[in-house]
Amino acid sequence: MARITRIATTCLVRDLHTPFVTALRRTTQVVSVAVLITDADGRTGHGEAPQVWRVTGESLEGIEACVRGPLSDALVGSDPGSTGTAELRSRLEGAVVGNGGARAACEMAVLDLLAQGTGQTLAGLLGGSADAVATDVTIAADGVAWTPETLAAAGFDRVKIKVGVDEADIDRVVRIHDSSPGVPLRLDANQAWDVERATAVVEGLRTAGVPLEFLEQPLPAWDIAGHAELRRRFDVPIVLDESVFTIHDLRRAIDAGAADIVNIKLAKCGGLGAGLAIGREARAAGLGVMVGSMMESELGVSAAAALAATLAPDRVHDLDAAWWSIAVDDAASPYRGGRFHLADSPGLIHAATRVLRGSHGPQVSSIDASAAFSAASVGSA
């Protein structure tokens, strides 16, 4: 790979076919920033950073400022192909505190370039070999219960139900179970409960005969002790999501006995390198690993799927985010048969082409080696 000469960003806005409702927010769009990195040979790599106010705290403006400023300073003029991916990760982590989505997008774009340069898929570059990974699909917390027919039509055989919005959680989960009795149920409260409410819901569902595969992030992110208490109270596996951004968060959770599974998301941990490190340490400690995504497009989800294919190709992950913004009749959709299918083209070329052609509202800024702004068109790169 030649040295990096230019970084550009564009805003991606994509409408969802169905509103996405959780205990944290309601949205009808994917809103994110795409990052374009160009090297001295004219090759381009792409990455994506979602705006997620209620989880990462990153905004479109903040992501673009971070990419244009400290992350550009760290990358422009460097040659990651010569220095290696460990040095790439170190440069990005040393450039800014937090801003995981912005860092992840930049690292993603550079690794896209590296994969293209060697003719590999992104998963192949990371050391994975699977060409598809299983994923659940989310049932939003808006009172809509899916039938077996609607589930089959969507092509998924595993669901994750968003809960924590109101007091009707138990009744709604029971209805979904009764309508699709053979479908394993995952619950995600997105930090909405306290220990007693979480206990009451699990006990209520147990009384109703509803088996749960796991319960994800029932308590506030800071309440590690509370999650450990829930593990002592009942045998439903606890997944930590918002509680684990970094490998240090993971270690605290392990020491406290607070988790059975960890949900790794690129915008939380800061990139694929960090995600690999967290996943490998979690597995070494006996925890399960699930790779998830924020509400982002096929570009970001493709990178997350490459991580999933490398860390845990046999698990059912949580990678349905892009499905919400893909037309139901899209014959080229990567979602088929309850799995996200990774493209066999080098890097992220396939996903970037699909996403950038289908986005709207492009507002682009760029940085070159002299740190000067100029207009650019990411979509035609």
In angstroms, rounded to a whole number, what is the distance separating the alpha carbons of residues 65 and 72?
Answer: 10
14/61 Cα distance (integer angstroms): 17
132: which strand partners? 341
Give Cα 298 to chain centroid, integer Å: 10
265 catalytic residue (yes or no): yes
Helices (H), 56-194: 60-66, 72-75, 80-83, 85-95, 100-118, 122-126, 148-154, 169-179
Of 46, 68, 162, 317, which one is the catalytic site residue? Answer: 162
Beta strands 364-368; 316-317: pairing state: unpaired
Q: Which residue is catalytic, options 68, 158, 265, 268?
A: 265
**42 Rama sector, left if φ>0, alpha if ψ -120 to 50, beta otherwise:** left
When computed from its CA atoms, the radius of gyration of the chain, rounded to whole angstroms, is 20
Q: Six-digit token pair at 65?
A: 């400022």
CA distance 248 to 93: 14
How far apart CA 47 and CA 302 sit, in angstroms, is 10
The three-point CA angle 65-66-68 to 5° equals 65
Angle at 192 between CA 148 and CA 326, to 5 degrees: 45
Q: Is the CB of residue 160 less than 8 Å from the CB of residue 186?
A: yes
Write the CA distances from 295 to 88, 123, 377, 379, integer angstroms: 26, 21, 24, 21
Which positions are catalytic?
Answer: 162, 265
